[in-house]
Structures are given as C-alpha cells and as structure tokens.
C-alpha cells in the first residue's frame, strides 16, 4: 500500500517533480485505473470553487493622521465599516450594505474595488481625546496607500449546503437569489463533487495552518468556520446530507487578483462577495484518493421550501448533484428547472491554477498545526419573546 509523508511530497514539489492532478482529472482516472494505481501515480490533488461567500470581510489599517485620530465611525464608499479595533483599524464586512437608499453596492464591492487597485472614498468621524484630537477625516484610499489589507473570512467552504425552492405564491428574494413561486426554479450554491471539503469528508487533509489559494493569492486556514457542524447526518460514504463543516480563511488582499474577488448583489436581499478558493490535498495514502473519487451521483442535498419562514423549513427530500447538474429535478411530480450560484468553469480554473503553482515549485504544502474539531454541535438561538 502506497504511503507518503508531506515532507516527501514537498521535496518533489521543490524539485519540480511532483505529479499533480486536479480533482476532476483524478475522478476520471480512477474510473479507468482504480484507486490503488492512481495513488501510486499522483502526489497532490487540487480542488477549487468560485461561489458567493458572504461571511467574508477585510481588515484594513489606514495609517495615522497628523494630528492623530481615533476612529469612531467610518464609511468606505458609503458602506459602514467597524472601528472598534484600535485607532485607525477598520473591519469591512462583505455583506454590509451601503447606506444610500436604493444602492446595490456593499462591502463586497468595496473590497473588490480595492483589490483591483481602484481608489475609494473614506469618511470618518473621530472620538476626540487628548492624544487623538482630530475630529474628522475625508480622503480617498487605495490598497497601496494603506498599511495592512487582508481578508479574514469567518465562514467559507461549506461542506455541502441546500437547494432552495419556493412553494408559495409570490417571488421570494433570498441569499440564493430570486426563487420563483409554485416551484418555478431550484437554486443550489455548492459545486458538488468539485467542492473542496466534499472531497475530504472527515477533514483528514485540512486543518489549522493549511495553505490554500485564496482570491488569486495565497491564504491559510485560520480556524474552524462559524456554524461548523461536522456532526451533520452522513451517508455510509461519510458525506453529509446537508450543511456540515466550514472553515475560516485569512490571506493578504494586497496580493489577490480581481478575477477571483468579485462584489455582487442579490436583489432585495443584499451584497455579497464571489470568491475563488482552492485547496490542495497531499496524497498520503489510498484513503485520500478514494475520498476524492466521489461523484455527483454519490452526494445528496436537501431541497428546502423558503416559503415557510422558519429556522427549520419543510424539505421536499434529497436529490443528488448529478440530478441538479442535469438542469432539472422532480418535486412532487413537477419538473423544476435548476441553476447553480457557483461557477463550475471558474471552479475548475481555480484547481488548474493551483495545480500549475505546485508543478512550478512555487506553492508547497503545509502541515496543519491542529486539526479541525469533529465533534462540534450546532446551537440555535431562540432568545426571549
């Protein structure tokens, strides 16, 4: 049985001798050659996705003014930013909307504009003190006129998600986009068998410190993601039947590329951020390859009715990603059109770019410093009436 260490794989990467396949290539070759032969042949498998990830944000240090200022309130292109960290540090959430009535911009657009090298307006009110006397600041900033500018995303890379439908009688505007009445469409966000964490169901290949492709640059897995729920019910193949594990990611936005960080807006819902993320898996043993051989027909996802405005919505049952990607599913005898929020072609491109970095010896793999929790429960918040 083939066994490798991460050090051995990195040595091959640095010598430009590593064999790297995208996960799509791996799946095709396993069908032809089997798991054992593929394990002997490949050193690294790359995965990728390009999809909306609204639980993302940016941390910026503006640099101090003269006279100095301690920020009390701050707006970037009319989008409120949080100022409760030090004097001139701000945090901008991707899903924070602009305050202007009718605006279809938000934090995701501002983050994308800064990454693209554009300037944005900055308006701030200071909390005047003896050491920070300045009361206002009005200027424009670019990524090369500020100090730190990095993404910190508390929840990315859902390990599976849901399909949204609308059994009601009016159009619903959701984080999946518009859902048409009377089961007029079905929208899904996950790329299925291409999705990074669905190829690592037990989180063997990723952990805190894992290096990834993030927004066209290099990032790292910083912590478990919010709403991390590895105890989700699973099939015998260990794949979850709904939203399960998540990760928090961090990376230098100064090095990111506008093609892989795009602001977006969901009508009557709000702004978000399309983000490209790629995760490499070291082929340490056959179990890694067997997990990455999963196919769309092996992964199921629940179909949820958004017409019922409750935390636990009625389900129309489970469908496979193969059915979703066919363009239609059947719900209660009705043929329903399907559409993905994620870009399949861009997801494949992320995996290809990451593959090229590793083949060129410019991207080595990292050993996690700690595993992700596997026993985390999910606690609802009911509050008081």
What are the tens digits of pLDDT across the range 187-238?
Answer: 999 999 999 999 999 999 999 999 999 999 999 999 999 999 999 999 999 9
The reply to whether 118 and 245 lie within a common domain is no
In a shared domain, residues 301 and 276 = yes
Q: Please, what sign has the CA dihedral across residues 8, 14, 19, 22?
A: positive
* Torsion angle in degrees (nearest 10) through CA of 111, 113, 119, 124: -30
Q: Are residues 23 and 127 in the same domain?
A: no
| Structure tokens that stand for 355 in this block | 């593959």
**pTM for the whole thing?**
0.96
Q: Would the pLDDT of 62 be above 60?
A: yes
115 and 31 in a single domain? The answer is no
Q: What is the mean pLDDT of the chain?
A: 97
Among 44-48, 74-78, 307-311, whose mean pLDDT is lowest?
307-311
Which of 98, 119, 146 is where one domain is finished? 146
Domain boundary at 80, 113, 146, which?
A: 146
**For residue 27, how many C-alpha atoms fall within 13 Å in the half-sphere facing its CB?**
19
Q: Does residue 202 lie in a domain region?
A: yes
Torsion, Cα 107 110 112 117, to 10 degrees, reads -160
Q: Do the domain assignments include residue 384? A: no
Domain holding 108, by residue range, is: 63-146
Predicted confidence at residue 352, as pLDDT, reads: 98
Confirm whether 131 is a catalytic residue: yes
Query: How many domains does the chain fold into?
Result: 2
Q: What pLDDT is stored for residue 42 in this prediction?
A: 98
382 part of a folded domain: no
| 49 within a domain of the structure (yes/no) | yes
Give me the torsion for CA of 203, 205, 208, 214, rounded to 10°. Answer: -110
* Distance (Å) of CA 143 to CA 69, 106, 120, 149: 20, 18, 10, 7
Do 133 and 274 belong to one domain?
no
Cα distance between residue 107 and residue 96, in whole Å: 5
Same domain? For 133 and 273 the reply is: no
Q: Are residues 128 and 157 in the same domain?
A: no
Predicted local distance difference test score (pLDDT) of residue 312: 76
Residues 26 and 50 placed together within one structural domain of the fold: yes
Q: Which of 38, 74, 131, 190 is catalytic?
A: 131
Confidence grade of residue 381 (pLDDT, cut at 50, 70, 90): confident
Helix (H) / strand (E) element for 290: namely helix 286-292
Whether a cis peptide bond, with omega within 30° of 0, leads into 67 is yes
Would you say residue 385 has pLDDT above 70?
Answer: no
Together in a domain, 95 and 140: yes
Alpha carbon distance 340, 241 (integer Å): 18
**Residue 383 included in any domain:** no
Asked whether the predicted pLDDT for residue 329 surpasses 80, the reply is yes
- The answer to whether residue 105 is domain-embedded is yes
> What is the rounded average pLDDT of the residues 366-377?
95
C-alpha distances (whole Å) from 306 to each of 61, 161, 167, 191 are: 40, 14, 7, 21
Query: Based on the domain organization, do 158 and 131 belong to the same domain?
Result: no
The answer to whether residue 381 sits within a structural domain is no
Q: Point out the domain boundary residue: 123, 146, 169.
A: 146
Task: Tell me the three state secondary structure of residue 357.
Answer: helix
- Say what the pLDDT of residue 60 is: 98
Q: Is residue 299 part of a domain?
A: yes
């Amino acid at each position: 049985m083939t066994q490798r260490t991460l050090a051995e794989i990195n040595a091959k990467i640095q010598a430009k001798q590593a064999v790297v396949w995208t996960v799509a290539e791996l799946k095709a070759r396993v069908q032809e050659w089997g798991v054992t032969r593929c394990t002997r042949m490949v050193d690294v498998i790359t995965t990728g996705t390009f999809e909306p990830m609204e639980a993302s944000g940016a941390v910026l240090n503006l640099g101090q003014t003269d006279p100095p200022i301690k920020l009390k309130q701050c707006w970037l292109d009319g989008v409120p930013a949080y100022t409760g960290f030090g004097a001139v540090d701000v945090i901008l959430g991707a899903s924070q909307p602009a305050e202007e009535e009718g605006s279809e911009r938000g934090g995701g657009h501002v983050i994308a504009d800064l990454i693209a090298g554009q300037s944005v307006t900055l308006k701030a009110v200071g909390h005047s003190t003896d050491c920070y006397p300045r009361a206002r600041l009005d200027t424009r900033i670019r990524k090369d006129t500020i100090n730190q500018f990095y993404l910190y995303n508390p929840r990315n890379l859902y390990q599976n998600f849901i399909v949204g439908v609308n059994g009601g009688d009016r159009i619903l505007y959701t984080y999946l986009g518009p859902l048409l009445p009377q089961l007029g469409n079905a929208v899904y966000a996950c790329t299925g068998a291409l999705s990074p964490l669905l190829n690592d169901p037990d989180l063997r290949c990723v952990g805190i410190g894992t290096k990834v492709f993030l927004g066209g640059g290099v990032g790292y897995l910083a912590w478990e993601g919010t709403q991390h729920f590895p105890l989700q019910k699973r099939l015998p193949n260990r794949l979850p039947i709904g939203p399960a594990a998540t990760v928090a990611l961090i990376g230098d936005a100064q090095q990111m590329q506008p093609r892989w960080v795009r602001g977006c807006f969901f009508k009557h819902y709000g702004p978000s951020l399309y983000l490209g993320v790629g995760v490499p898996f070291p082929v340490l043993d056959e179990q890694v390859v067997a997990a990455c051989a999963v196919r769309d027909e092996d992964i199921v996802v629940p179909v949820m009715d958004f017409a019922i405005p409750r935390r636990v919505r009625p389900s129309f049952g489970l469908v496979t990603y193969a059915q979703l990607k066919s363009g239609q599913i059947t719900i209660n005898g009705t043929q329903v059109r399907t559409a993905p929020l994620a870009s399949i072609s861009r997801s494949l491109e992320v995996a290809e770019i990451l593959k090229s970095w590793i083949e060129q010896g410019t991207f080595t793999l990292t050993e996690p410093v700690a595993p992700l929790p596997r026993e985390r429960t999910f606690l609802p918040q009911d509050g008081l009436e």
